[in-house]
Amino acid sequence: MIQFGTGGWRAVIGDEFIKSNIQLLAKAMCNKMKAEGKTDKGMIIGYDKRFLSKEAMKWSGQVFAAEGIKTMLVNKAAPTPLIMYYVEKHEMPYGMMVTASHNPAIYNGIKIFTYGGRDADKEQTNEIEKYASKIKPEDVKEMDYDEAVKEGLIEEIYPLNEYLDNIIANIDMDAIRNAGLRVALDPMYGVSEIPLKTLLLTSRCDVETIHDNHDTLFGGKLPSPTATTLRGLITRVMDYNFDIGIATDGDADRIGVIDDTGRYLHPNDILVLLYYYLVKYKGWHGAVVRNVATTHMLDKVAKKFGEQCYEVPVGFKYISAKMTEVDAVIGGESSGGLTVRGHINGKDGIYAAMLLIEMIAVTGRKISEIYKDIEAECGSIYMEERDYKFSVEKKAEIKRVLMEEQRIPDLPYKIEKVSYMDGCKIYFKNGGWVIGRFSGTEPLIRIFCEMPEKEDAIKVCDILKEFLGL
């Protein structure tokens, strides 16, 4: 059974992530492309370093070949943003990437991209699910791999250089070359090592890499750049006086940053820093886009420069769509994904990393100093985040209370409004807010709260937790 979440189709390896389901999804894409008359430019498929990723890519390619649709397979593990860039640049109708992004090692999955290199939206993924549900096992055919290559129905490619050249063209490499920066890099056993290291060495940075070998278990840790998983990088930055520590998740679409003091920068902080830098130092004009669970510090920075901040549901497809609509400078999520005007229509941890390094080089200031400037000019705010697991029964109960009955707890702050755009979000008159929403990628309910004071944020989270019986 194929079911998409906010980050594509993901499943446990050996449970639902099996050859038959992978090929079922490929066949569904074939049927969809044929129905839409979009087979001429074929399909591109990439893969990351997870267990069975390369095999899954090949299994999919064999189905496309059997259906007479040419498929370009990226023959080395590659970042997700590379595939999105390729789809956009070559004006392809669709692309696929075998990855489960930042999920635990037992998961794998497939992301679908549509024209313009965008994440497939809900309408598109619903259609794919419908196509998949109508396919019988005997309908799925595959062509021998070598035969498909021989007949030109499968072509192996590795378009890394054109993706890197695009980044080089949009980053002030001269400024970085002249800055003599020291960078500690943690690809988290994922796919960013070669592209990021290439970019950093090209810009004459002093680079040291950790966790760069191939390990499908990701060193026993979650391949997600968080304060907990990046302790090794924090130590490295502090012990050897690096200017910045950069980490990316398993497929390199998300970024984690350690500043010059060894402090883990929350993705919210990264978004704020880059928006501030692009507007103040590079003179860009325009709005910023964030999702419902991302910091309102962006609203403060936007207001400071006479710009607007737009709020959308969780899922990068909503970020990129809104960015296009309002020609925003930058858009991103508190989970670590962001993109910038003029780059791809999806999140890119590699580009974000180079932009941060450019920021240090151009401003001549340390990251910790720049953030203090922002707080001095725009004020500060504190966010508390909580994740809670639940049973199937508990999920139904929470959904009924929050979304159907629309009940909320008694809160000690004046409420301005309540939104149900994505989960239940309560806005307070003091500028704070709290949201409860189910994760689209993991069996979790997430509670985020942002308030002027830390104690208040903790208090509100505790109240909502108790109200929901978590």
- The model carries a pTM of 0.93
Q: Which CATH superfamily is domain 4-158 in?
A: Alpha-D-Glucose-1,6-Bisphosphate, subunit A, domain 3 (3.40.120.10)
pLDDT over 90 at 113, yes or no: yes
β-pairing, 94-98 with 43-47?
parallel
pLDDT over 80 at 440, yes or no: no
Across 14-18, 109-113, 220-224, least confident range: 220-224
Region 91-118: mean pLDDT is: 96
Identical fold at 4-158 and 177-378? Answer: yes
Annotated domain spans of the chain:
4-158, 177-378, 382-468
pLDDT digits (tens, 9 = 90+) for 23-35: 999 999 999 999 9
pLDDT over 80 at 57, yes or no: yes
Average pLDDT of the chain, as a whole number: 95
Domain at 382-468: CATH architecture: 2-Layer Sandwich (3.30)
Q: Which CATH superfamily is domain 177-378 in?
A: Alpha-D-Glucose-1,6-Bisphosphate, subunit A, domain 3 (3.40.120.10)
